Structure 1
Amino acid sequence: MRRPWIVVITVALALALGAAVVTVTAGAAVTASAVEDEGADCPVPALPDAGALPTNAKLPDPFKRLDGTRIATRSDWRCRREEVKKLAEKFVYGEKPAKPQSVTGTVSSTGVTVNVTHNGRSSSFSARVELPGGSGPFPAVVVLGGFGADTAAIKAAGAAVISYDPYAVGKEGTPRTNKQGAFYSIYGATSSTGLLMAWAWGVSRIIDVVAQSDGRILKADAMGVTGCSRFGKGAFVIGAFDQRIALTMPIESGSAGAPIFRGIPGEGAQSLSSAYGEQPWLGDAFGTFTGSPNRLPVDTHEMVAMVAPRGLFIMDNPHIANLGPRSASVAALGGAEVYKALGAGANITYWSDVQDGNHCANRAEWRVPLQQHIAKYLLRTGNEPGTIRIAAKALGRLSDWSDWQTPVLGDTQSPTPSRSVSASASVSPSASPSASASPPAGQGCSAALTVQNVWDGGFVASVRVTAGAAAITGWTVRLSVPNGTITSLWNGRRNGTTVSNETYNGSLGAGASTEFGFQGTGSATGLATTGCTAP
């Protein structure tokens, strides 16, 4: 089943006009899918053997199919995502089996029970339910493990909490040859599937039961998932592998979670061999990559992309290097490129700009955005845009890891959304995205700036560079940043407020585009491009 693409793109600009805020909004937030895997019917070419994988120090191109071609439309992503899913199952997590032959259970105001039968084997488990005030049916957030998640804020926002014990489905402390729990009772103690994917299978079965219920208590089409530390790893994988989950919120997930595998060895994070050996979180096949992650045909930026265009709120801790926060920020920035290409750039948030360095603390900085995300994706009453807030001490550069360009994906099934502006104050032209429809004669390129996110004291913007009627082999964009300071930039080389291309994104065919982005401190007021030139 294919869902209609309904996109929200929100840009909030704090103007130097008292407390006035201008919001540019298009459409409405995407909803979760009605099925666990939309691409299950997609033909996937034969996957490579582990021994034949080439070494690539850069992140794999999420837009490149297994046959070497690149996707061209938004609708192409459905089957490209399925390829990523199969690669991740084979080389990283182990297979997530489809829905078993029989899934039954009950939903009450205090709990969910799950009974599974498949190929003559049976297992069962349960989860506790806490309802918020008011009358149902309620959206719900599955909370893994019982710590690190702000359950009070979740319930105060109007969502139920489903307290899920992952160990009932995949138990820690077992050898890989004798895995235990409800998943392994069905698929065998020697299954090569790791605990994270087993935990994901368990949440999918909870959603099956909720979907089969009478719908008076919980809403199956408004489900979220969260957890911290090892349970943040689980939440990350759960959201990536079940498209019925509307909102995924991993917290401080560390190695085997959000951080790119390729970045972990150089960051001082928990090593891949340690993460693989501590518990059987990852699939058995990952064991051959612990010392050579550059051979992996996938990386976690593509797990981020698998969540797209659904809501994603990654919470991270920049104060603990062992968690790999720099590598996690790279994963978020890489996956955000897929979000943007799908027209859903406002649906991803990465937030590591926090003061409290304690692991899995309930942080005040996250409380408001947490409730805004619940309102937007589960209650469907909000439209707050996502934000990228990376702590300076743990800032990764996507340009260090990427040698691919983000394509402009067309889709005849997704008409361009209309844009409306509402505000209590007039807006200066420099506050709006700046662009020129075509470059002046001899200029060779044009540049269009969009402010992606704004917060008190900072902002993130992107600039799309487009070649004119002839191909170009390099470009230079001049920026005007009158009320702020650029602190980091990706997919370009900066000299003050002048940005030139990287070696991998300077050559553009006639009419083709590429994009760079930057983060800054201060105000976004007056941000603009003042010219684009090409040799």
Structure 2
Amino acid sequence: MRLKAIVAVVLAALVFVPGPVAVAAPPSPARAACTTLPSTLPAPGALPAVTELPDPFKFWDGTRMTSPDEWSCRRAQLSELAQYYEYGHLPAAPTSVTGVRNGNTLTVTVQANGRTASFNATLRLPSGNGPFPAIIMLNPLAASATSRGYAEVSIDPNSIAADSTSKTGAFWTLHNGSNVDTGVLMAWAWGVHRTLDALRAVPQIDTSRVGVSGYSRYGKAAVVAGAFDQRIALTVPGSSGTAGMGNYRFFFAQGGNNETLDDILGAAYWFTPRFSSFRGQANRLPFDQNSVAALIAPRLLLTTSGTEGSDIRTNPQGTSLTYRGAKMVYQYLGAPDRIGVNYRPGGHQLDLNDYNAIMDFADKYLRGLPVSRTFDNVPYPNSTAAIPWTIPSGGPQEPPPPPPATSCRVAYDTTTWNTGFTANIAITNTGTSAVNGWRLQFSLPSGQVIIGGWGATYSPASGPVTATNVSYTGTIAPGGKVTVGFQATHTGTTAEPSSFTLNNNPCATA
């Protein structure tokens, strides 16, 4: 091998201990102690029967959320319930992950439990220098994402875990015999997570803007991948049905076309062995897929589905209830536009209608590009029988009237790098009366997209943004100051907003 080629391969290799990158935030004044699950969860037959979609806002002890600040606590409960009863547990982060690129092939090598296993991903990059947003694909889209400016990262799920009871593939090489209760859907999700780890070896890819897509059974896996790794910016399940964006309680097809929990257990190896105990008693699940989808909130989620033919078996009308139930969590967290759905005529397929919806949704929220279409075209009615509960009071979905205008000054400071930046925003009350509750409005330049924040809720993530105080930043005394901020990606410009208004009153800038 020529020296130049050897150097290129060596430079393309990274070894690191994987883990999500977190943005520091002040402590939340949520409930004094996060309610915990029992040390031993009940057997399925001992759980109460619940005919409606279980309330995602209700803690295990029966109390309901009273503030969006409590979502992290409730999310932890739902995450454990879904792993324990349905998908099996995601193993702890591996010892290391290595990504080595050779042309269009990225070899992902994982070390865990004193063992080593590898699988390959195929890379396709757009023209230009990047770094580009990317989509990890469990199966192909109907057209090329590179033509729309996205890197494609294709993986073969069967090289990670065979779609059978054989327990072969990279996941089982590492974890077979280690007493894991993991099903194949979670194993495939694990493969997506490890691919994301290895993409740090590819400087042309912006790892803060990576999504996952999948169709049919791989759509189910895409939901699981997005639900259990908060680094994934965009989750796109297509025609995923039962165990994906369908639900286990409400079906609408006639003539035996419904795919129920009992039917899906024909592939019981997709799940933890414990899940089979719900055969004939799906209404004892202490959650449903609306809560699994809500684990993705407030990150981006778009589901696509046909309304006819063989896609009827994926329960498109039931999927609309899952979507509506999950969207209520997004609303409560102040991000109602970051979840979407696209229905199209046709059967069980992934076609250009789906492709265009996926690319437009990604363009709008990952790249901050102007998109005219909407992503809430639901052709089915809502059902109070399925969703009798409501969004708790106190969330951003019911913003109080803004207090009277006040005098203000804003200092906006950034720390930038090639694909992103953090912004610290200092808001000073220059008036003579205290500010009790505020909304700061400003417009991000094109190409900037917020991916996380502290001290306030931010909606939408791009364009004209409203930052609304959280409980511990809501009061600004005369002459006082609060500092909030966010992390964002950019496509080349880190310019600052040109102006700021606080409760509709223009602020001076420092």
Corresponding residue number in structure 2 for 1:387: 375
Are residues 1:331 and 2:296 paired?
no
Q: 2:41 aligns with which of 45, 48, 57?
A: 48
Corresponding residue number in structure 2 for 1:125: 119
Name the SS of the counterpart of 2:173 in structure 1.
Answer: helix
Q: 2:135 aligns with which of 141, 151, 154?
A: 141
Q: 1:100 aligns with which of 90, 94, 111?
A: 94
1:311–1:348 CA contact under 8 A, matched in 2: yes
Name the SS of the counterpart of 1:203 in structure 2.
Answer: helix
Q: Under a length normalisation based on structure 2, what TM-score does the superposition of the two structures give?
A: 0.68
The residue correspondences of 1:8-407 to structure 2 (distance < 5 A) are 34=21, 44-46=36-38, 48-50=41-43, 51-107=45-101, 110-146=104-140, 149-152=141-144, 154-174=145-165, 178-188=166-176, 191-211=180-200, 213=201, 216-264=203-251, 268-278=257-267, 280-319=269-308, 320-352=311-343, 354-355=344-345, 357-364=346-353, 366-382=354-370, 387-391=375-379, 395=380, 397-407=382-392
- Measured against aligned partners, the alpha-carbon deviations of 1:272-301 in whole angstroms (never above 9, x if no partner) come to 222122362222211011311100001000
Change (3 A) 1:409 1:150: farther
Q: How much does 1:233 deviate?
A: 1.0
2:88–2:271 CA contact under 8 A, matched in 1: yes
1:93–1:194 CA contact under 8 A, matched in 2: yes
Change (3 A) 1:235 1:42: farther
1:222–1:245 CA contact under 8 A, matched in 2: yes
Give the number of the structure with larger relative contact order, counting CA–CA contacts within 8 Å between residues 6 or more apart. 1
- Letter of the aligned partner of 2:213 in structure 1? T
Q: How much does 1:370 deviate?
A: 2.1
Are residues 1:408 and 2:393 paired?
yes
- Measured against aligned partners, the alpha-carbon deviations of 1:490-522 in whole angstroms (never above 9, x if no partner) come to xxxxxxxxxxxxxxxxxxxxxxxxxxxxxxxxx
The residue correspondences of 1:485-500 to structure 2 (distance < 5 A) are none
Change (3 A) 1:186 1:139: same
Change (3 A) 1:119 1:341: same
2:237–2:304 CA contact under 8 A, matched in 1: yes
CA distance, structure 1, for counterparts of residue 88 and residue 438 of structure 2 = 38
1:250–1:313 CA contact under 8 A, matched in 2: yes
CA distance, structure 2, for counterparts of residue 181 and residue 42 of structure 1 = 38
- Letter of the aligned partner of 2:365 in structure 1? Y
1:44–1:82 CA contact under 8 A, matched in 2: no
- Measured against aligned partners, the alpha-carbon deviations of 1:469-489 in whole angstroms (never above 9, x if no partner) come to xxxxxxxxxxxxxxxxxxxxx
1:109–1:217 CA contact under 8 A, matched in 2: no
Unaligned runs of 5+ in 1: 1-32, 421-451, 453-535
Q: How much does 1:229 deviate?
A: 0.9
CA distance, structure 2, for counterparts of residue 282 and residue 396 of structure 1 = 31
Runs of 4+ in 1 over 6 A off after TM superposition: 411-414
2:133–2:366 CA contact under 8 A, matched in 1: yes
More deviation in 401-410 or 96-105?
Answer: 401-410
Name the SS of the counterpart of 1:280 in structure 2.
Answer: helix
1:376–1:384 CA contact under 8 A, matched in 2: no
- Measured against aligned partners, the alpha-carbon deviations of 1:182-204 in whole angstroms (never above 9, x if no partner) come to 11121116743111100111111
- Measured against aligned partners, the alpha-carbon deviations of 1:44-90 in whole angstroms (never above 9, x if no partner) come to 43263124211111111111112222222222111211111000000
Give the share of equivalent positions with the same residue, in percent: 35
Change (3 A) 1:150 1:34: farther
Unaligned runs of 5+ in 2: 1-19, 28-32, 400-424, 426-436, 444-459, 461-510
